[in-house]
Amino acid sequence: MAPPLSGLLETCLYVDDMARSRSFYTSVLGLAPLFEEDRICVFRLPDGTVLILFARGSTLEPVVMPDGTIPPHDGQGPIHFALAIPEGSVEEWRRHLDDCGVAVESEVEWSRGRGHSLYFRDPDGHAAELATGELWSRS
Using CA atoms, how far apart are residues 139 and 122, in angstroms rounded to an integer?
32
What domains can be seen in the chain, in order of their start residue? 10-59+75-131 (3.10.180.10)
Q: Please, what sign has the CA dihedral across residues 10, 16, 20, 24? A: negative
Using CA atoms, how far apart are residues 92 and 108, in angstroms rounded to an integer?
16
pLDDT category of residue 4 using cuts at 50, 70 and 90: confident
Give tens-digit pLDDT for 108-127.
998 876 889 999 999 999 99
Please compute the mean of the pLDDT values over residues 83-109 and round it to a whole number.
96
How much is the pLDDT for 52?
Answer: 98
Question: Strand, helix or coil at 104?
Answer: coil
Give tens-digit pLDDT for 11-33.
999 999 999 999 999 999 999 99
Neighbours of 106 (CB within 10 A): 10
Give tens-digit pLDDT for 52-78.
999 999 999 998 999 999 999 999 999
Angle in degrees, CA 81, 83, 88, rounded to 5: 140
Using CA atoms, how far apart are residues 101 and 129, in angstroms rounded to an integer?
16
Identity of residue 76:
Q
